[in-house]
Amino acid sequence: MAEAQHRNLPIYAVFFAIIAKLYFLLTHHIQEDAFITWRVAQNLMDYGVIGFNGDTKISASTTHLYVFVSYIFNLIFGKENFIEPLLIFNTTLFTIGSLLLSHVLFKNNWHKAIFILLFGLLPPSIKISILGMEYGILFFLEMTLLYYGFKKEKKWAFLLLPAFILFTRIDTMIFLGIIFLVDIFWNRKIRWSYILGGILGVAICVSFNWFYFGEWVNNTIVAKKLAYDQTFTMQQNFEYFKLNYGNFWGMLKLSGNFNPITIVILLFELLCFIYLIRQREKRNYFLWIIFLFAWSKQVIFISQKSLFDWYYWVPQILLFVPVLIFVLEQKVKRNLWLTLLILIYILPMLAFQTIHSIATGNGEWNYRRSIGIFLNLYEKDKKQWVLLEPAGYVPYFSGLKTIDEVGLVDKQIQEEIKKDKPNYWINTVKNRKPKYLLSYRNLFEGSDAEYYKTHYRLLNEFRIKDHLKSEYPVLEKIYKLKPSGTDYNLYEKIKK
């Protein structure tokens, strides 16, 4: 009876949740790595090759499926106009994913609608929706698998969706593996169609990498492992964890090595989860899946020293699901619980994310993009090279060929790292002689200063302090409250 009542409420909630988040488009807060994927997509348009620099093949983007989706949006809307439609598309897919998740968790349509709205306003949900990464598509695919595969038991979902999920990100093997384990323990049977779908998914991804790029795994994985590989003592591991745990389990990126808000949220999530699984509900099957996946993903990535916060967006919001269920299903004083949740947590988190997005959007779109635009106007020969880090905004808006410090978009620098990691930067400069160097450091100071002074000149200094102004006083206060960006020095090779 409850399911038949107000049948369209969840659909209305989907539309409202999408519209409510669109104002974040005005902040221009777009993740740096999104521009790597988009440049790969445009490289495919221009050269017919999945790469980053001309006709050289390289899996510079973490995600293959999103490259092809971005390619289609570039074809339809053009290079100048595709970003906003693609961000709206990502937001829509994520919100539909939250609708599917609500279907596996709730029977009451009012609960579904409120869940979709509150779930969609959490900081990780906003970042998944608007920041341009592949996680909107990924979340939609994963929730589609849960709903159509493991709730509706559609065989097409078992056979097709694992391939799409793995083709979006290879690390989704964690998600698919957790589902497999929970399903076996819960139902005491093996779904052979799901196993076949997983085998097909792995075969397609590995075959594509091997036959197209000549590698088993994406270059991005190899490059990050090589560049960031460090040996830590037990004490160093503990210090590392203290410095970073708040960014992983919490929804706030705060400076410092102690974040009490994260601990409170984590404990409440655990208590709500324990309370819910003690009840005899069919949906506990799905609760176990999403909770175990969220914990597994975060523990595995933390253990591998993965600092990039986008790895943790989906786990962050899934860990909060039991809290929303607990509040919405309170029998006594539910409205009070819901009001407190909204006033004490949801709205402050929304306000925090708004301020964070405005400040970060200024530091990325207004500041870092301006470096790329400067180079685009200054250097007309797009065959010239620039050595820099990171490989997002500046290469995208400059159009120049790029060597990044990590080796995500250029494999040759990986060889320099293997040969002489402490000196790979200067060795790359000497061996490849890029026309431009963009560095956080003053290259005219230090052990290699004489070489740089002899072969390069300082072309421009880019300072974040010069971009903390606005004609709107409120925006200027936000920029100065949370300055986002890094000072750069741009060097040009001296003509001989």
Q: What is the DSSP string of 112-176?
A: HHHHHHHHHTSHHHHHHHHS-STHHHHHHHHHHIIIIIIIS--HHHHHHHHHHHHHH-GGGHHHH
Q: Which pLDDT value is given to residue 89? A: 97
pLDDT(256) > 60: no
| pLDDT the model gives residue 104 | 95
Residue 347 pLDDT exceeds 80: yes
Task: Say what the pLDDT of residue 252 is.
Answer: 62
Average pLDDT estimate for 381-385: 93
Asked if residues 409 and 53 have their Cβ atoms less than 8 Å apart, the reply is: yes
In this predicted structure, the answer to whether residue 250 has a pLDDT above a threshold of 70 is: no
Residue 231 has pLDDT above 70, yes or no: no
Confidence of residue 261 (pLDDT cuts 50, 70, 90): confident
pTM of the model: 0.93
pLDDT recorded at residue 373 = 95
Is pLDDT above 80 for 226?
Answer: no
- Name the residue type at position 8: N
pLDDT of residue 96: 97
158, 149 contact by CB (below 8 A):
yes
- Give residue-wise pLDDT tens across range 387-426: 998 888 999 999 999 999 988 899 889 888 888 888 989 9
* Entry field: residues in the chain: 496
For the chain, the structural domain boundaries read 9-329, 369-493
The tens digit of pLDDT for each residue in 56-91 reads 998 988 889 999 999 999 999 999 999 999 999 999
Question: What pLDDT score does 253 carry?
Answer: 60
pLDDT at residue 2 in the model: 46
Look at residue 336 in the predicted model and tell me its pLDDT: 92
Mean pLDDT on 376-389: 93
Name the nearest CA neighbour of 322 among 277, 264, 261.
277
- Contacts of 195-199 with CB under 8 Å at 24 or more apart are 196/158, 196/159, 197/158, 197/159, 197/160, 197/161, 197/162, 197/163, 198/162
The answer to which of 252-266, 318-332, 453-467 has the lowest mean pLDDT is 252-266
The token duo for 459 is 């072309």
pLDDT at residue 61, as a whole number: 86
pLDDT value of residue 223: 80
Question: Looking at 115-129, 149-163, 172-186, 204-218, which range is the least confident one?
Answer: 204-218
Average pLDDT over residues 367-390: 93
Q: What per-residue confidence (pLDDT) applies to 3?
A: 52
| pLDDT at residue number 260 | 74
423-451 pLDDT, tens digit per residue, is 989 999 999 999 999 999 999 998 899 99
**Is the omega angle on the peptide bond into residue 124 within 30 degrees of 0, that is, cis?**
no
Mean pLDDT of 451-477: 91
Other CB atoms within 10 A of residue 370 CB? 16
What are phi and psi for residue 343, nearest 5 degrees? -75, -40
Could you read off the pLDDT of 307-336 as tens digits, one per residue? 778 888 999 999 999 999 999 998 888 889
Rounded to 5°, angle at Cα 288 from 285 and 290: 110
**Mean per-residue pLDDT of the chain:** 89
d(CA 400, CA 411): 17
